[in-house]
Amino acid sequence: MGSIKLIPPVTYQGGKQRIASQIIDQINPSSQTFFYDLCCGSGSISIELANRGYLPSKIYMLDKSPWGIFWQMVGNGGFDLSKFAAYCDSVPKNRSDIKSFMQELFDKPINGDFVYIFLLLQAGTFGGAAVWTEDGKWKKSGGFRNYWIPTEKSNRRSPVNPMMPLPGTLFYRVEQICKSMFGVTGHYGDIYEILPENGIVYIDPPYHGTAFYGHSFNVLGYVSAIRAKCFISEAVPLSAKSHLISTGFKKGGMSGRRQSLHEEWVSEFN
Boundaries of domain holding 238: 20-79+182-269
Number of residues in the chain:
270
Position 51 in a domain? yes
CA geometry: angle at 103 spanning 99 and 108, to 5°? 150
Are 87 and 167 in a shared domain? yes
pLDDT in tens, 226-270: 999 999 998 888 999 999 987 654 544 444 444 445 688 999 998
Instruction: Give the residue-averaged pLDDT of 164-178.
Output: 98
The pLDDT assigned to 171 comes to: 98
The pLDDT assigned to 211 comes to: 42
Query: Is the N-terminal amide bond of 66 cis, ω within 30° of 0?
Result: no
Are 37 and 160 in a shared domain? no
Position 163 in a domain? yes
Are 118 and 134 in a shared domain? yes
DSSP assignments along 4-46, one per residue: PPP--SS--TT--TTTHHHHHHHH---TTS-EEEET-TT-HHH
Point out the domain boundary residue: 120, 145, 176: 176
Are 93 and 206 in a shared domain? no
CB 87 within 8 A of CB 114: no
The pLDDT assigned to 167 comes to: 98
CB 133 within 8 A of CB 110: yes
Q: How many domains does the chain have?
A: 2
CB burial string 179-188: b at 16+ within 10 A, e below = ebbeebbbbb
Q: What is the β-pairing status of strands 258-260 and 250-252?
A: antiparallel
Report the first-to-last Cα separation within the chain, whole angstroms. Answer: 34
Are 198 and 67 in a shared domain? yes
- Provide the whole-model pTM: 0.88
For the chain, the maximum distance between any two Cα atoms, rounded to a whole number of angstroms, is 60
Query: How many secondary structure helices (H) and strands (E) does the chain include?
Result: 8, 11
Instruction: Give the residue-averaged pLDDT of 212-232.
Output: 80
DSSP assignments along 152-185, one per residue: TT-S--S-B-SSSS-HHHHHHHHHHHHHHSTT-E
Quote the percentage of the chain above a pLDDT of 70. 89
Are 160 and 214 in a shared domain? no
pLDDT in tens, 52-63: 999 999 999 999
DSSP state of 56: G
Q: For residues 259 and 251, what is the distance between their CA atoms, to the nearest angstrom?
A: 6
Name the nearest CA neighbour of 249 among 80, 15, 62.
15
